[in-house]
Amino acid sequence: MPASWLKDTVFYEIYPQSFRDTNGDGIGDINGILEKLDYIKSLGCNALWINPCFDSPFKDAGYDVRDYKKVAPRYGTNDDLYRLFGEAHRKGIRVLLDLVPGHTSEEHPWFVESGRAEPNAYSNRYIWTDHWLMGAGGLNYVAGECERDGTYILNFFKCQPALNYGFREPREPWQLPTDHPDALATREAIKDVMRFWLGHGCDGFRVDMANSLVKGDDDKKSATSAIWLDIRAMLDREFPDAAMVAEWSNPPQALRAGFDMDFCLNNPDTGYSTLMRDYYGDVDNGYFKKDAPDRDIRRFLDIYQRWYEDTRALGYISLLTCNHDTPRPRCDLDEAELKLAYAFLFTMPGVPFLYYGDEIGMRYLKLPTKEGGYTRTGSRTPMQWDNTQNLGFSGGDADSLYLPVDPAADAPTVAAQQDDPDSLLNTVRALLALRHAEGDLQADAPFEALCTEKGKPFVYRRGGLTLAVNPSGEALTWKHSLGALTPVYRLGEAIADGDSLTMGPQSFAVFRKG
C-alpha cells in the first residue's frame, strides 16, 4: 500500500537552478527554495520534488551524477539541504529528491575505477563488452574512452555510462545475470544512497528512468520489477513512511514493482498528450483547446480508465501540469484554457504534480540548448516572481543567468497575479484549497466517468461529488437522473436545473447532491 501521507498531497516540482537565486551568481540555489517555502505552501502544495541537486559536471543538467551524496556547490551544501528538509517539515511540506539509479556521470569515481585495465571491485559496476572493437548487441555504446579493453554501454548521452544490474537472459560472456554478486553490489550501492538521504530527512524519491535498470530481453520488466520490489522491501523495513514515484508511465507495471505512484507522462501511448499538447497528430485536437475541431475525452479516458481500474488498490497515478522534459502547457493553451485543464487535473484521482511557474502560466521559450536540455530547455527558464531585475529571480547581471527570463512586456509574474482573484495563480490556489477541503477530491476517492459523449460536457463522479467541464466555446447540456445538484465550486457558468446540467462556454463546476 502507498504511504498514507500521500492521500492528501499535491507536489510542486522545482528545477533548482531556475527557481530562486539568493547569491547573485545567476543560478538558483537551496537557500532560494528555503526562502519560498511559504509561497509554495500558499499554493496548496504540501510536498516538493526537487530535480537532481547532486555534484555533477552538468552535461545533462544534473542527471549525470558525479557524487550521489554531495550537493552540487552551485546549489549550496549538504547542510543547506538538511536545513531545507527540517524547515519544510516544520511547515508541513514533504520533500522528494531525484534518484538517478540507471547511470552516473563518466566522472563518477566508480566509473573511473571501472575503466581501469586492472580488475578491481568496480570492474563490473558498469556494463562492458570484452573487446575494444566489440559492439553491444544493439545497445548504445562508446569505445576508446578508457584504458580498459572493452566498450561501455550508455543509457542516454555519451557521458552517462549505464550501471550494471545484470541481464534477465545473458547471451554473451560479458552479460551478467541479475543475481551475480557484482550486479547485486550495484543494487546495494543504490540502497546505500537512498539510506543516506532518508537518514538525513528526505521523504522519498522520484526515480529517473525507473523501468530501464535491467538490459536485454526484459520487455515485460519482470527483472527490473524484481529489483524494485527488493528495494521496496528494504524501505518497508527501514523507512516505512518513504514514498517513491516512478518515471515509468506504465502504472500496472510500476505499482506492482513497489512504487507508490507512477506518472502518466506525455508519451504517445498514454493519452495524456491529447489533453493539452496534441502534437502527435496532424491537427491539434487537444481536449482543453477552445477551438479543437474534433474534441474527444475518450482519447485520454480509454487508457486512463483501464489503468485506474487495474491499479486503484495498488497505488496512485500521478497527473502533472508539466515537467522539466515537457513543453509547458502555455505552449498550446491560453489562460482561460489552462484554468479548465488544471481544474480537471487537480480533481482527478491520484497524486497531482504542479511544475514551478505553471501556476502563473509561464511560457515555453525557444532557446538554444543548455546543459543537454535541447528542446527541453525552453521549459527550464527562471521562475518569474515580480517586475524587478530579472523578474525577481536573481540580483545578478542578466548575462549571468542560467537561462534568460521571458523578455515579453506581459511576462507573467507572481506579483502581477497575487491580488487578482480571477488570476491563474489564485485559481490554482482555490482549486487546491478545494481538493484539500473535500475528501472526495483526494487521491483515493472513487472515480467514475458519467458522460463522455462528444458534443456534451465531460461529467465525472468523485465519491459523492459530481464534476463537469466544458472546454468549448458554446454551451453544452447533459440530461441526467442524479437528482438535485448544488454547486460547490464554479469556473464560468454552470446551471443544474431538474434533470438538465448546462455548462456555459469554457466552464467547470463541482456539485454536491441536494
pLDDT tier at 216, thresholds 50, 70, 90 = confident
pLDDT of residue 281: 79
d(CA 66, CA 57): 7
Same domain, yes or no: 249 and 222: yes
In the predicted model, is pLDDT for residue 300 greater than 90? yes
**Residue of 352, 492, 471, 357 whose CA lies nearest to 422:** 492
User: How large is the average pLDDT for residues 46-71?
Assistant: 98
Backbone angles phi, psi at 281, to 5 degrees: -110, 180
User: How large is the average pLDDT for residues 88-110?
Assistant: 98
Final residue in a domain of this structure, among 384, 406, 439: 439
pLDDT digits (tens, 9 = 90+) for 439-480: 999 999 999 999 999 999 999 999 999 999 999 999 999 999
Q: Which domain holds residue 487?
A: 447-513
Indicate the burial class of 31 (C-beta count within 10 angstroms; 0-12, 13-18, 19 or more): middle
Task: Give the percent of the chain with pLDDT over 90.
Answer: 96
d(CA 193, CA 212): 18
d(CA 197, CA 200): 5
pLDDT of residue 342: 98
User: How large is the average pLDDT for residues 119-148?
Assistant: 95
In the predicted model, is pLDDT for residue 95 greater than 90? yes
Same domain, yes or no: 435 and 453: no
Same domain, yes or no: 218 and 329: yes
3-state secondary structure 38-62: HHHHHHCCCEEEECCCEECCCCCCC
pLDDT digits (tens, 9 = 90+) for 328-345: 999 999 999 999 999 999
d(CA 149, CA 119): 11
Task: Give the percent of the chain with pLDDT over 70.
Answer: 100
Contacts of 188 (CB under 8 A, 6+ apart): none
pLDDT of residue 268: 87
d(CA 43, CA 10): 10
Final residue in a domain of this structure, among 395, 412, 439: 439
Same domain, yes or no: 479 and 411: no
Q: Has residue 26 been placed in a domain? A: yes
Q: Has residue 143 been placed in a domain? A: no
Same domain, yes or no: 379 and 479: no
Which element (helix H / strand E) includes 422?
none
DSSP 8-state code for residue 124: T
Q: Has residue 144 been placed in a domain? A: no
What b/e sequence results for 335-369 when a residue is b if at least 16 CB atoms lie within 10 Å of its CB, and e otherwise?
A: ebbbbbbbbbbbbbbbbbbbbbbbbbbbbbbebee
Please report, for the domain that includes residue 500, its CATH number.
Answer: 2.60.40.1180
d(CA 183, CA 214): 10
Complete DSSP assignment for 66-120: SEEEEE-TTT--HHHHHHHHHHHHHTT-EEEEEE--SB--TTSHHHHHHTSSS--
User: How large is the average pLDDT for residues 102-116?
Assistant: 98
Same domain, yes or no: 499 and 373: no
Average of per-residue pLDDT values in the chain = 97
Same domain, yes or no: 435 and 456: no
Same domain, yes or no: 256 and 399: yes
User: How large is the average pLDDT for residues 210-237?
Assistant: 96
Same domain, yes or no: 367 and 500: no
Q: Has residue 364 been placed in a domain? A: yes
Task: With H, G, I as helix, E, B as strand and everything else as coil, classify residue 479.
Answer: strand
Indicate the burial class of 221 (C-beta count within 10 angstroms; 0-12, 13-18, 19 or more): buried
Please report, for the domain that includes residue 232, its CATH number.
Answer: 3.20.20.80
In the predicted model, is pLDDT for residue 122 greater than 90? yes
**Residue of 6, 126, 102, 108 whose CA lies nearest to 56:** 108
In the block, cell 544490474 appears at: 165
Final residue in a domain of this structure, among 416, 439, 462: 439
In the predicted model, is pLDDT for residue 1 greater than 90? no
Same domain, yes or no: 393 and 472: no
Radius of gyration (Cα) for the chain, nearest Å?
24
Virtual torsion, Cα 374, 378, 381, 385, nearest 10 deg:
-170
Same domain, yes or no: 295 and 194: yes
Number of residues that make up the chain = 514
Q: Using alpha carbons, list the distances in angstroms from residue 141 to 105, 135, 161, 162, 229.
A: 14, 7, 8, 9, 29
Tell me if 42 sits within 8 A of 429, measured CB to CB. yes
pLDDT of residue 3: 97
* Structural domain count of the chain: 2
Q: Has residue 139 been placed in a domain? A: no
d(CA 348, CA 9): 13
User: How large is the average pLDDT for residues 272-290?
Assistant: 92
Tell me if 318 sits within 8 A of 500, measured CB to CB. no
| Phi-psi sector, 232: left (phi>0), alpha (psi -120 to 50), beta | alpha
User: How large is the average pLDDT for residues 470-497?
Assistant: 96
- Name the β-bridge partners of 469: 458, 508
Q: Has residue 175 been placed in a domain? A: no
pLDDT tier at 514, thresholds 50, 70, 90 = confident
Q: Has residue 177 been placed in a domain? A: no
In the predicted model, is pLDDT for residue 282 greater than 90? no
In the predicted model, is pLDDT for residue 280 greater than 90? no
Same domain, yes or no: 503 and 483: yes
User: How large is the average pLDDT for residues 284-306?
Assistant: 96
Instruction: Tell me which amino acid residue 231 is.
Output: I
Tell me if 513 sits within 8 A of 484, measured CB to CB. yes
Q: Has residue 197 been placed in a domain? A: yes
**Residue of 99, 9, 102, 96 whose CA lies nearest to 50:** 96
pLDDT tier at 283, thresholds 50, 70, 90 = confident
